[in-house]
A and B are shown apart, each in its own frame.
Chain A
């Protein structure tokens, strides 16, 4: 497949790994790189990228999976809306198994709520037209990548006067979350692999504070294995050359200014919330979107009353530490035992982009094996 296969060729990976190996030797220190986006986490585990990197290069898996950062209270709210008799709740498949405080959407559906998975938010408008006596509520989640699609959906609902459609808006923003991470003293990072598809919407400019105020390099990356390796190489080059800049490896998709049509739609339909709760990270100022006054008629939060509670995470769950990159999945006590993709306790085990699920699916045997090797060494020593 064009624009995919050429970024998966092993020979190209080999070339980059030789360069990465060379630079990592000259750096002569332990380097921690955070990949912010869950899509990168998924690729990194799927292609075993961690296993082939030199020992002194560590990847820290960041909070960029919208499913993983969804707090339990928000799911409770979505379920309470879905339980109204005349409501059809539509949502992306990713949200179906996220545990709320009592139920997931999938369980609520089994109990009789009309909850339907859609591929595109636009599908909700079709359902709204087919069911004029029902209220259709789209449970919208996602970062800046997804926000343009829901903004255009609302613009289309307005243009077509579809009055039985509204959206429960839970969009979150990457930049405030990055800032919160950078202000966390527990986390010492040397640089970032930036989210490629968020950046296709917002451009490269919004990351400049990372290099200017926090003096860290960031390389915006594509999602194929060659993309990620090339981005790691570019980051390491910045580190050896004592540079900290916003660079893009993903120039085939990302422009400096971002996508103006998408940004215009977001700015017209949404406004920034003063505060938004992230699972594991707590309240982060200015980190969520809500529907603007101009489109208030499409705001499900105004059409329906919701419990709107902040619900603490399950005691056993350490997703917060995972999302901040402070703990690794296998360090959570319930990982792979009480918490599995079939029966997730925490959100990081639900989405295939969550560090726990990605690691459970692709990496756990390799890791167990490499730890075995370490232990053997200890015995020998």
Chain B
């Protein structure tokens, strides 16, 4: 029930009602972006953003740097394991 899927915003369809089109794994869907916009991030600036989609809403932006950092930890572990087995 709390499931969410990553998607990328490709078009803003209604700035007043805060509606956008998101591409989720090749499928295009209309979503509401009220949760992710503010003065610093007006709707127009959302194109290209990766977001987590849940019941027709973009719930949060996905932070690409943090995503990379999490995976970086795994690379470090792998390197340490390789060093040990050599």
Contacts and interface: CB of A to CB of B under 8 A. Distances in A.
Nearest to A233: B77
Interface in B20-63: 25, 32, 34-38, 50, 52, 54-57, 59-60, 62-63
Interface residues of A, number: 56
Contacts of B60: 200, 253-255, 259
A200 B63 CA distance: 12
A146 B55 contact: yes
Interface string B54-82: 11110110111011011101100110010
A39 interface: yes
Interface residue SS majority, chain B: mixed
A11 B81 CA distance: 13
Central interface residue in B2, B34, B35, B77, by most chain A CB within 10 Å:
B2
A50 B36 CA distance: 36
Nearest to B71: A6
Interface stretch (A115-123, A182-190, A211-219, A359-367): A115-123
Contact of A230 (B5, B36, B74, B81): B74
Contact of B63 (A37, A39, A67, A251): A251
A99 to B, nearest CB: 17
Interface in A136-179: 141-143, 145-146, 148-149, 152, 156
A39 B52 contact: no
Interface string A119-130: 111110000000
A37 B2 contact: yes
B85 to A, nearest CB: 10
Nearest to A196: B2
Interface of B: 1-6, 8, 17, 25, 32, 34-38, 50, 52, 54-57, 59-60, 62-64, 66-67, 69-71, 73-74, 77-78, 81
Interface of A: 1-4, 6, 11-12, 15-16, 18-19, 37-39, 64-67, 92, 94, 119-123, 141-143, 145-146, 148-149, 152, 156, 195-198, 200-201, 223, 226, 230, 249, 251-255, 259-262, 265, 351, 353
Closest 5 CB pairs of A and B: A120-B56, A252-B67, A3-B6, A251-B66, A145-B2
20 contacts: A1-B6, A3-B67, A15-B78, A16-B74, A37-B2, A67-B1, A143-B1, A143-B2, A145-B59, A146-B54, A197-B4, A200-B4, A201-B59, A226-B74, A252-B70, A253-B60, A259-B36, A259-B59, A261-B36, A351-B1
Given A6-B71, A253-B62, 17 more contacts: A4-B6, A12-B71, A16-B77, A94-B1, A119-B55, A121-B56, A145-B1, A145-B59, A146-B2, A195-B2, A197-B54, A197-B59, A200-B52, A249-B70, A252-B62, A259-B36, A262-B35
